[in-house]
Structure 1
Amino acid sequence: MPRLPRRPRLLQRPRLRSTAAVGTTLSALAANCLIGGPSVAEPFAVAPCALTRTAAHHSEGLDTWNAAYPRPARSLDAVMIFLSFPDAAPRTTPAELAADHFPATSRFFRQASYGRFTLRPHPLKHWIRMPKPSTAYAIQRDWKPENRAAYLHDALTATDPQVDFSRYDVVYFVADPDAPGVDSDATKVVNLDTPLRADGTDIRRIVTVFEKHPPDRLVLAHETGHVFDLPDLYHRPADGKGDWDTYVGDWDLMGSQFGLAPDLFAWHKWKLGWLQPRQVACVRGPGPTRLTLEPLGAGPGVPVARAFGAPAFGLGHGVKLAVVRTGPDSVLAFEARGPVGDDHAACRAGILVYRVSSGARSGRGPVEVIDAHPRTEACWENSVYPPLADAPVALGESFTVPGSGDGDGGGGGDGVRVDVEGRTVSGEWTVTITPRAGGRVGHG
């Protein structure tokens, strides 16, 4: 069965008490939509291997936080608004549609953040009627700005008298999935260059949900990731055909909501503030560095050694990420992945190696997993991209990062070697990382 392509990005809600203000702002939306918010920098991660945030959309740089986005380092409130249309009588209820996404979305983020972030949903209990038929908005994945602007204008105008947007950090507009003009592939985050203004609050991005009932697995978690400045990690073929998952396969939610191991990369957890500085090891060479890596999904009270013997508890505070600087805007990252936490369905365990580029924008390969087993594949029956399903370096193996001529997509870090030497009784991985001979790899 062919997989549906995943969906793009979200938007933040302002407080609309004045429909006149909504109309004025949304008239500019048609021309200015899908531009990131102001690049306001807040100091964040300070480490020699922390890449500098660039002007690229959803840059993977994490030395500062872009204050145009809400930072999920605390509890955030999300309003879920259900929109019906005059050309269709809903066959589902708001409660049923809310249950499609919650508590699963909140559970994913609670697990991924080790309990540091809670997303609190506030779904309305009734439908809000749009003024025009669903077919009037020409809803589709690559939506024309003027049609999208008309949809948002009508949705906000209809909703504003009933919702105090100043109470919420995230806004979801959920369309009746059975209305004839609704396209399930159009779910995305809308970014506004000129924010909407409602109830004294700027709205810079809104999540527009057009999912079928039931929806794609974890689709709302993926879209919410964009609200927190995370990029798309999939590759969209120019003709819309072919593999979408060649960059990261199953290994991050922002690559695929269908992935077997959809936990967020440790790099993303560092960016979001879920890893402490002591949980990131900057490997600077030139000699070998031996260290112990905790499984990425392991947190307080989470069993981590289930697949390898007796369960181990109490992990979650050790080193989760090792980084080798390979250039001014690039690094190699190393993390331990396996069937733990949000990765419970992972079909292979080991040390995952990937490249990160802070200059590559969303959808253009800011992260690329490096395949330690390029001649084999795994889990072909349920992996989104079997060639990368067995990418991790397994226990007892050694792997040297290939160069650009070795078929892995190129980039820096060629010649860096990782040796996966053992596992501790508590489930941690002992590894040695050796930069390429003849030079210092680390910068800073």
Structure 2
Amino acid sequence: MRWSSLANRAWPLGAIITRTLTAKLPGPNADSSACKLAADQNVYLSAGFGYELNCAPSVGTLSAFMIFVDFPDQGADESTPEVLHDFFLPSAADWYDGASYGALGLSVTADTSRFYRMPSTAASYNWERGLTAEQHQHYIQDALAAPTFMGDVTTRDGTYVARKSVTFGYDGYRTWGSLVLNHETGHTMCLPDYYPFNGSATGLFIGGWDLMGLISGPSPDYFAWDKWRLGWLSDDQVDCVAEAGQTAHVLSPLEAPGGKKAVVVKHNDTSVLVAELRSPIGVDSASCATGILLYTVSTTIATGEGPVRVLDATPGSGGCAGDELDDATLTVDGVSSYTHAEWHVKIAVVGRVGEDYEIRVTVA
């Protein structure tokens, strides 16, 4: 026990020395506003700032109303909707409270009196990935509830019902768990899908690193880039690198409040490279790998086509939790640097201080 204690004390000392050596390097070389890429309004659910599609509030209280439906050919299996309600809530609300550092509260009022019978069979709605807006609208008007449909919802007589709406089927209850509600609610705040729409593997672009990709992934916390866009991170929690040179930065775990959360390296007016520290705490408690996660963001790539792409620091490793990208991180005692050759950017881990990581960014 004494030897273990001494060993634990020796490591922070080494890390502090590393910080002292690299402290001579400058910090961010641009105001954070230089890295706030504007959304492309012609790109559906563009991953930039200021996307305009009547997005639901992401700070304060997001209020919602929930009803439950079944179909003539698929009656409800549960005796009461309360079983489903309790399955999703308060878990989904608690997730947002943790992921947003308390900035967003999800308040859901539900009609648990019964299942409302839809007028047509489940099969008639052609409910599958890639549903058209018209098919969505038809379902909405029939249910007076909402699928993941990015438009205002009204009854047939024109009465306003909701700004945005989401829906999920029995697969959420059977497969995805309560996080399906958070995924779909993310769309109401104008977050894109990070899984591919072309039928490729769900983790093709980002592995299991964000809830807007693989819902059941081991590290579901939203990317720091999106937390910044949603207003959950302040400008002073993001370092912006927009010029050539070498800079040093200290990042704290994304999953915990406070501290610096991201280094954003601006490539041009439509794309950036982001570095953030992921740890097995909070909403990422099931993570199978930790360290500095790197990814690119493009504001010109639409939802489902890969607007965010994780950069794999350990290609060919086989990954963990079933996906090659799930162990893509840089670590202190493993793969410690990554070079994006095309963009002439190198990210290197140079030390660890407690739970924080120090990284060095070199832009040629």
TM range (shorter): 0.7 to 0.9
Cα distance change of structure 1 residues 348 and 256 upon mapping to structure 2, 3 Å threshold? same
Q: Give the letter for the 1:235 counterpart.
A: P
Aligned partner of 1:151 among 139, 155, 164: 139
> What aligned pairs does 1:203-242 form with structure 2 within 5 A after superposition?
203-212=162-171, 213-217=173-177, 218-237=179-198, 240=199, 242=200
Q: 2:358: which partner in 1?
A: 430
1:395, 1:422 within 8 Å by CA — same for their partners in 2? yes
For the 8 Å contact 1:352–1:392, the answer to whether it is kept is: yes
The answer to which structure has the higher helix fraction is 2
Range with greater deviation from structure 2 (351-360 or 276-285): 276-285
Partner of 1:287 in structure 2? Answer: 245
Percent sequence identity is 34
1:137 pairs with one of 124, 127, 132:
124
Q: Does 1:418 align with 2:356?
A: no
Give 5+ residue unaligned stretches, structure 2. 1-30
- Residues 207-356 of structure 1 correspond to what in structure 2 (within 5 A)? 207-212=166-171, 213-217=173-177, 218-237=179-198, 240=199, 242-299=200-257, 316=258, 318-356=259-297
Structure 2 letter corresponding to 1:391: A
Q: Distance in 1 between matches of 2:126 and 2:85?
A: 21
Q: Matches of 1:146 and 1:331 in 2, distance apart?
A: 35
Paired position in structure 2 for 1:401: 339
| Offset at residue 257 of structure 1 (A) | 0.3
**Aligned match of 1:4:** none
Once the two structures are TM-superposed, the CA of residue 146 in structure 1 deviates from its matched residue by: 5.5
1:46 Cα deviation after fit? 6.7
Is the CA contact 1:86–1:129 (under 8 Å) kept in the aligned structure 2?
Answer: no
Go from structure 1 to structure 2 and tell me whether the alpha carbon gap of 1:144 and 1:74 turns closer, same or farther (over 3 Å shift).
closer
Structure 1 435/67 Cα, relative in aligned 2: closer, same or farther at 3 Å? Answer: same
Aligned partner of residue 250 in structure 2, secondary structure = strand
- The answer (yes or no) to whether the contact 1:84–1:127 under 8 Å persists in 2 is no
CA distance in structure 2 between the partners assigned to 1:266 and 1:342 by the alignment: 14
Q: Cα RMSD (Å) of the superposition?
A: 2.4
Secondary structure, aligned partner of 1:134: coil
Contact kept, 8 Å, 1:137 with 1:150, in 2: the verdict is: no
Whole-angstrom CA distance in 1 between matches of 2:52 and 2:330? 34
Q: Secondary structure at the match of 1:389?
A: helix
Letter in 2 for 1:428: D
Using structure 1 for the length normalisation, give the TM-score. 0.68
Residue in 1 aligned with 2:305? 364
| Stretches of structure 1 lacking an aligned partner (at least 5 in a row) | 1-44, 157-171, 174-187, 300-315, 405-412, 437-444
* Offset of residue 94 of structure 1: 0.7
Tell me the SS of whatever aligns to 1:336: strand
- AA aligned opposite 2:352: R
Determine the C-alpha separation between the residues in 2 that align with 1:233 and 1:125.
32
Post-superposition offset of 1:236: 2.8
- Given candidates 15, 34, 48, the residue that maps to 2:34 is 48
The residue identity in structure 1 corresponding to 2:256 is A
Structure 1 residue 148, shift from structure 2 partner: 4.0
- Between the aligned partners of 1:290 and 1:146, the Cα distance in structure 2 is 50
Matched pairs, number: 327
Query: How far apart, CA to CA, are the structure 2 residues paired with 1:67 and 1:80?
Result: 22
| Structure 1 counterpart of 2:186, one-letter code | G
Q: Secondary structure at the match of 1:257?
A: coil
Deviations 1:318-356 (A, max 9, x none): 110101100110001000012121111111111111100
Mapped partners of 1:88, 1:351: distance in 2 = 46
Q: 1:195 to 1:133 in 2, by over 3 A?
A: closer
Aligned with 1:61 (options 48, 52, 59): 48
Question: What is the alpha-carbon distance in structure 2 between the residues aligned to residue 152 and residue 195 of structure 1?
Answer: 7
Please give the alpha-carbon distance, in whole angstroms, between the structure 1 residues aligned to 2:288 and 2:232: 25
Query: Which SS does the other structure have where 1:151 is aligned?
Result: helix
Q: 1:356 to 1:145 in 2, by over 3 A?
A: closer
